[in-house]
Structure 1
């Protein structure tokens, strides 16, 4: 199967498999504040991650590109939504366009329709510095997302099988690329051990891509004759992964993704230390089923809902949510206990 055909295949299977919603957000609860002393108009949703300033902590995470007209249309629609709602947008892996220039329009359309927006380029961990620069130049990108997707590649019939030298390539990109670099998991979460190794080589931003959203093992298994089902439930749930980052105690700034669908999910992620939250499969489903206007309305509602949640918790900004106490239960609590993660300090802050 050609790379471009595979891109379309991924979109169709992503919509078919949906999201598992085993992210762990139901295990996290805010401690209610009965008497907040704040005005809704005082809320400022702007967020800063590394060198990047976002108008709100909501962004469209990497989804597609490189699949001809169908993915061009999706990226155009998403970029128009991003421009209308003033949120950042990441594209899917651009390797298809680097290897086949005919696929470039499916990516360049993003900057064409959103000339002033925050746009994030994307390649896999096999990318060289020259390829990364091509990806950034293609979009005039504000940042570069380097995705790591070992489980997806292992399940993918035609996936990569050699991962030697990945940390060395990441280190080179971080120090030589002219825009900020975000290391992103694609749905299996990041452990504290991985975070510490990334911090040691100079990584300043990660997207933990927790388990619980779009499941790329299930997607790739649908494309296999003999399925590797043991990977379908593999990974670290989103909330547990955010706790792993917290426990790693590095200076890395965190983006959260992995099954996020509501402002409450986002608020919990921010309270667990994330600077912003990426929505992918949920936004794609709305776009494909109900259209652009419905997605614009949903993003507008998410901003309004987040404002209400911050007001109820008596904080003026997304980052201030890290001062709000949380209570944990279920699998997230069990994960934290067995991994030696101090959640008491979060519950009593």
Structure 2
């Protein structure tokens, strides 16, 4: 099977397997503020990550590219979506274009339709510094994502089986590039230990890519004769991974993994994230209802975020880091046994 065919399979299976809704956000609740002392017009949705300023707390996370005309059209529409809504956008792994130059156009189209926007390149942790530089040059990327996908590779029939030296390569890439490097998981979460290790490099941020959204184990299992079902429920739920990573490092944290609506985004930021990536839900909306309907949906999500921040008395995203939260169920238990003091979230502002 070619890389292009595999990319097309990923799109098909991502849509068919859907979102798991096991992120943990349903076990996170806000403490109501009866005296918010704020006006809706005062809300500021800007955020800063790695020296880059984003006008939206949402960005379009890495999805595709390298799959021929089908993925080129998807990336074109996603690029227009980002341009029209002020979101940053990340492309899918560019390794296919580095190995087959005929696939470059499926990534370059993102910059073509969004020449002034914030665009993130993407490579796996197996990449060299030279490949990272080439990926940045290919789309004039403002930052580069390095993705960690051990479980996907193990489940993928033709996947990698050697993960030695990943942290060292990430460190070399972060030192060797002139743009910020953000390390992201691909749906299985970043632990406190991993965040601490990554923070000793010169990366600019961590996208925790938590469990509970699009599940690449389930996707790759669709392509196997002998399925590895034990990986289908493997990972750190998104809400928990944000808390783990945020306590482990001062680096900006990005939430992704099953982010479906404005409430998930605001909860993410309140748990410690600086921005939230959306992928599967935007792809489903785009392919199901079209580009204009997806632009409208994102604009409405921005409005909803402002309503939620008004109700909480938070003018900025940083203010959300101090709003009190009540954690229950599995989220509370996990953080408790991990020594992460879930009660501290409920005592903010006291």
**TM-score relative to the length of structure 2:** 0.98
Matches within 5 A, 1:24-103: 24-103=24-103
Cα offset, 1:56, TM superposition: 1.1
Cα offset, 1:252, TM superposition: 1.1
Task: Give me the whole-angstrom Cα distance separating, in 2, the residues matched to 1:345 and 1:23.
Answer: 20
Task: Give me the whole-angstrom Cα distance separating, in 2, the residues matched to 1:97 and 1:247.
Answer: 37
Question: Aligned-pair RMSD on alpha carbons?
Answer: 0.7
Alignment deviations for residues 17-68 of structure 1 (CA, whole Å, 9 cap, x no partner): 0010100000000100012111111111111112110001010000000000
Task: Give me the whole-angstrom Cα distance separating, in 1, the residues matched to 2:125 and 2:19.
Answer: 24
Report what 2:307 is aligned to.
308
Alignment deviations for residues 103-124 of structure 1 (CA, whole Å, 9 cap, x no partner): 0110000000110010000000
Task: Give me the whole-angstrom Cα distance separating, in 2, the residues matched to 1:260 and 1:200.
Answer: 28
Flag structure 2 segments of 5+ consecutive residues without an equivalent.
none
Partner SS, residue 323 of structure 1: coil
Task: Give me the whole-angstrom Cα distance separating, in 2, the residues matched to 1:204 and 1:69.
Answer: 33
Cα offset, 1:294, TM superposition: 1.1
For the Cα contact (< 8 Å) 1:145–1:183, is it kept in 2? yes
Report what 2:5 is aligned to.
5
For the Cα contact (< 8 Å) 1:204–1:251, is it kept in 2? no
Partner SS, residue 173 of structure 1: helix
Task: Give me the whole-angstrom Cα distance separating, in 2, the residues matched to 1:42 and 1:240.
Answer: 30
For the Cα contact (< 8 Å) 2:246–2:273, is it kept in 1? no
Partner SS, residue 145 of structure 1: strand
For the Cα contact (< 8 Å) 2:246–2:253, is it kept in 1? no
Matches within 5 A, 1:268-287: 268-287=267-286
Matches within 5 A, 1:236-315: 236-248=236-248, 250-315=249-314
Report what 2:190 is aligned to.
190
**Which contiguous aligned blocks of 4+ residues in structure 1 show a shift greater than 4 angstroms?**
none
Report what 2:323 is aligned to.
324
Task: Give me the whole-angstrom Cα distance separating, in 2, the residues matched to 1:239 and 1:319.
Answer: 17
Alignment deviations for residues 269-301 of structure 1 (CA, whole Å, 9 cap, x no partner): 000110000000000000010000111011001
The size of the alignment, in residue pairs, is 348
For the Cα contact (< 8 Å) 2:40–2:310, is it kept in 1? yes
Alignment deviations for residues 295-331 of structure 1 (CA, whole Å, 9 cap, x no partner): 1011001100000000000110112100100000111
Task: Give me the whole-angstrom Cα distance separating, in 2, the residues matched to 1:21 and 1:52.
Answer: 30
Flag structure 1 segments of 5+ consecutive residues without an equivalent.
none
**TM-score relative to the length of structure 1:** 0.99
Cα offset, 1:202, TM superposition: 2.7
Report what 1:113 is aligned to.
113
Task: Give me the whole-angstrom Cα distance separating, in 1, the residues matched to 2:112 and 2:201.
Answer: 35
Report what 2:335 is aligned to.
336
Partner SS, residue 159 of structure 2: coil
